[in-house]
Amino acid sequence: MSLLAVVAVFAISTIGYHVLCEASFSDSAYMTIITLSTVGHHEIIPLDGGGRLWTSLMIVFGIATISVAFTSLLTVLVSGNLLRLRGRYRMETRVSHLEKHVIICGGGRMGMLTAADLKQRRVPLVIIEQDPTVADELESKGYLYALGDATDEETLVSAGLSRARALVAVLPRDSDNVYISLTARGLHADLQIVSRAEHPSTEIKLKRAGADRVVLPHVVGATRIANLLTRPSVLDFLELAGEGMDLEVDEYVIAEQSRMKNKTLRSSGLRQEAGVTVVAIKKADGAMIFSPDPDELIESADTLIMVGPAGASSRLDRMGL
């Protein structure tokens, strides 16, 4: 509206000079410009009494209109920036309060699928995104984000790397994911790092850089297709468990103070109290025991792989086992 008002004043002033002073449209337009801008050039149109009165009116009303338009535009720009800065400050404050969260580097397709799954499981997370437009979309969907380049150490720190439990590097370029893994491992030795790789040859580089696990989407997709063709019922079972609806495959780490420590599976009460079945035990040294015997001893730092109703690990925490 302010721009339309300025255009209207310019057009009316030009037509006024053209009619009152019988000047050409080019001369009338130039006269309007030097009048409204108050630059002080000499008059190119001979002005009589009517022309000078018209000029005086244009100076008063024209400059007033331009001033109001400029003020409105400035207000919009300043208020927009203030709102944006305020929103960013509020986002940074919320991110600074996160602990034991997951950092996802990249708000692309794979990053968003990972974020949606973690959000469904109520895992706290923050997404690092460089594109402000994508960041605005993330905020509208209820995600916390850190605006910046994920390969930049300062951006990782601003996302709470020192307090995070895991980092997921899913940028399109393998070289960026290698650099992120290397930087994150140097800043946080105990951080769990999962990275995406497009080329199989990058897997060893990512692990050398500090990644704990490497996911190759093409390999995962090919394996899934093969399973659909050869073991469809097994895949249906795993998908049902992965959805965490009626059934869930979960893991539970035995703490030093756990009541299950130094007990056998039979005497632990897991099946009776939590309704879960232990299908495997991962020992502290990484050894995996599949289909453990009921008399298998549970030790500190063991990871129990369980099948049971959704939320089994949360129930075990609440029960103090």
pLDDT per residue as tens digits for the range 145-174: 998 899 999 999 999 999 999 999 999 999
Crossing angle (nearest 10°) for helices 232-242 and 217-230: 120
Burial 280-299, CB ≥16 within 10 A → b, else e: bbbeeeeeeeeebeeebebe
pLDDT per residue as tens digits for the range 121-135: 889 999 999 988 888
pLDDT of residue 2: 59
pLDDT of residue 100: 92
Domains of the chain: 2-90 (1.10.287.70), 98-220 (3.40.50.720), 247-319 (3.30.70.1450)
pTM across the whole model: 0.61
Residues of the chain with pLDDT under 70: 1-3, 6, 22, 36-52, 72-87, 237-247, 311-312, 318-321
pLDDT of residue 85: 61
